Structures are given as C-alpha cells and as structure tokens.
Amino acid sequence: MMRKPETRPRSFWLLALIFSLFVLFMYGPTLVIFLLSFQGPEGGLTFPMRGVSLHWFRQLAEGLGVVDIGAALRRSLALGVAVMLLTVVLSVLAGLAFRRGFRGASLVFLVAVASLIMPSIIVSLGIALEFRLLDDLFKGALGLFGMQDALERYGTSLGLFTSALGAHLTWTLPFGLLIMFAVFNRFNRAYEEAADDLGATPWQRFCHVVLPLIAPSVVGIGMFGFTLSWDEIARTSQAIGDVNTLPLELQGLTTTVTTPAIYALGTVTTLISFLAIGLALGLAWLLRRRRAGAA
C-alpha cells in the first residue's frame, strides 16, 4: 500500500514566512547599499538608480575629504590580524589549561566571559581610563628620575596595539574560550592515550594528534577573532587614542558624506568580512577533508 506524501501543517508555512521576512530584514539593507554603491556619477542616496558604474569606488580610492581611507583600512587590517592571532593562541592555551583543571577554574571562567554581558562602551571607557592612569604614572616616573627629554617626547600609551588591542580581546577571547570548551568536551582522549603508548612526548602529542583534530575549530576561532575586531566600534571608540579604524571613520562619515561614496565604503568593508569568512570556511573544509582522507 502506497503511503500518501506527508503534507506540511499550516504552522510550518507560517514559520517559514516569518523566517523569510527575518532574513530579508537582516540582509535587505546590505543588498540595497551594495546596489546603490554602483550608481553613476549623478547617483544619489536613494532609488531610483541613475546609471551603473564604478565611479564612487574610484572616488573612494582618491579619498573622501580629509579622511585617509587607505590608512584607516590598513590600521583595521593590522589590528584584526593581531587580534585574530592572539585570540587563537590564548584560546587554545586556555582550553588546554581548563581541560586539565586547576583551583579556581570556575571563577576564572566567569571572569573571562563576564565582558560579554558588560556594555561595550563602559568597557571602552574603563580601558581608556586605565591607560590614562598609566600615562600619569609613566610621566611621574620620568619626572622623578630627571628624564626631561623623554618626558617631553612622551605622548600617550593609548594606541592601536595597546589599549585598542586589549579592548578587542575582551570581546573576542570569551568566544574563543567557549568554542574550545565545546571542542574539548567531545574530544576523544583515546587518541592521546595511543600516542602516549607509542612514546610520544607531550609536545609531539599536541602537534601531531591534538592540533590536527581541533584545527577546523581553531580556524573558526580565528575567523571570529578577525571579523569581530574588524566590525567593532563601541569598544574601540574610547580606547584607540588619536587614530581611527575603518569602522570609526565610516561612522563619522555618515554625518558628512552625502554621496553614494559612503555606500561604496560600506560595500568594501562588507566584502572584506565575507572574504575572511569564506577563507576560514574553505580552510576548515580542507582540514576536515584531509583528516577524513588520513583516516
């Protein structure tokens, strides 16, 4: 007896419609900005489009007023790469430490993830205050030891790879740590025991057994580290000092630039984010395929 094809209940179609509207709401603005960035020289900030060209991307390359977009882009890329590398290294080391267990591990974990629930602007203000207090301490020490030349040349410890880097790590490290917890909770220790039986040292066991197995997740941590840093504004705004990253410049330009050049800049930043995600997913897929082939 043939079974009748299963029919979807009305609730399924209702939920499918809600999900479709949610996806449209989430990605629709990005698509609109992408389309409007390719307008002709006479284009405006709204539809209808007036021609199709790369005019606004060429203008973006030439610069937007006094803002050096290229320098801001390089700063954001450099900071994103630094945050990515530190997030990967520190998350893996922390995951290994929590896996072995130590006294006070629960408290350390709660302190590490607490920054996820703290307002980002408060974190940024707190870090900026800390570094200004350090500035006062350094200046006082230089004056105490009579180092007047150094005191006159001293500016501030606030900067891209000091306070801003620390601010971004307060955002990326908890995600990396949570990923490592999930990875090691389902990690099969039998592989390590087999390596021990074969006489492997702890370093050989990590490099040749543990790391290849967790490599796709490590790539995911790197992707999180870069993309979260690349798009961050609130935690950067007060802690970066006298320079700006690309998201901060983009935020400032929204009040002064009234041409589709601002859309071109938004398109470029979005494409870089998607490129980073694509590279991470591709690398993770290659690592999984290589591991499956080795098995």
Residue-wise pLDDT tens digits, 69-104: 888 899 999 999 999 999 999 999 999 988 888 888
Compute the Cα dihedral for 70, 74, 75, 80 and give only its sign. positive
Mean pLDDT of 111-116: 86
Question: For position 114, what pLDDT does the model report?
Answer: 87
| Predicted model pTM | 0.87
pLDDT-above-70 percentage for the chain: 97
Q: Which residues contact 148 (CB under 8 A, 6 or more apart)?
A: 142
DSSP 8: P
Average pLDDT over residues 114-122: 88
Alpha helices (H) along the chain: 10-36, 55-62, 69-100, 105-113, 120-144, 148-153, 163-185, 190-197, 202-205, 211-231, 234-237, 246-253, 261-294
CA dist 248 and 276 (Å) reads: 20
pLDDT in the model for residue 259: 84
From residue 58, how far is each of 37, 38, 41, 83, 260 by CA, in Å?
A: 11, 11, 11, 30, 11
Q: CA gyration radius for the chain?
A: 25
- Produce one character per residue of 217-249: b if its CB has 16 or more CB atoms within 10 Å, e if not: bbbbbbbbbbbbbbbbebbbbbbbbeebbbbbb
> What is the C-alpha separation between 161 and 83, in angstroms, rounded?
9
Residues paired with 67 in a beta bridge? 64
pLDDT at residue 150 is higher than 80? yes
Give CA separation, 64 vs 128, 169, 270, in Å: 29, 30, 18
pLDDT tens for residues 251-260?
888 877 778 8
- Is 177 a residue whose pLDDT tops 80? yes
**DSSP β-bridge partners for residue 208:** none
User: What's the pLDDT at 51?
Assistant: 86
Q: What is the pLDDT of residue 292?
A: 73
Residue 113 confidence (pLDDT) above 90:
no
Q: What is the pLDDT of residues 193-233, one digit of tens each?
A: 898 888 888 899 998 889 988 998 999 999 999 999 998 99
As a whole number of angstroms, the distance between CA 238 and CA 142 comes to 26
pLDDT of 115 higher than 70: yes
Q: What is the pLDDT of residue 3?
A: 62
Which range among 64-73, 165-174, 228-237, 257-266 shows the weakest confidence by mean pLDDT? Answer: 64-73
Q: What is the dihedral of CA 165, 167, 169, 170, to 10 degrees?
A: 170
* Residue type at 16 in one-letter notation: A
Whether 24 has a pLDDT exceeding 70, the answer reads yes
Per-residue pLDDT band at 5 (split at 50, 70, 90)? low
Q: Is the pLDDT of residue 4 over 80?
A: no
Is it the case that residue 50 has pLDDT exceeding 60? yes
pLDDT at 14 exceeding the cut of 90: yes
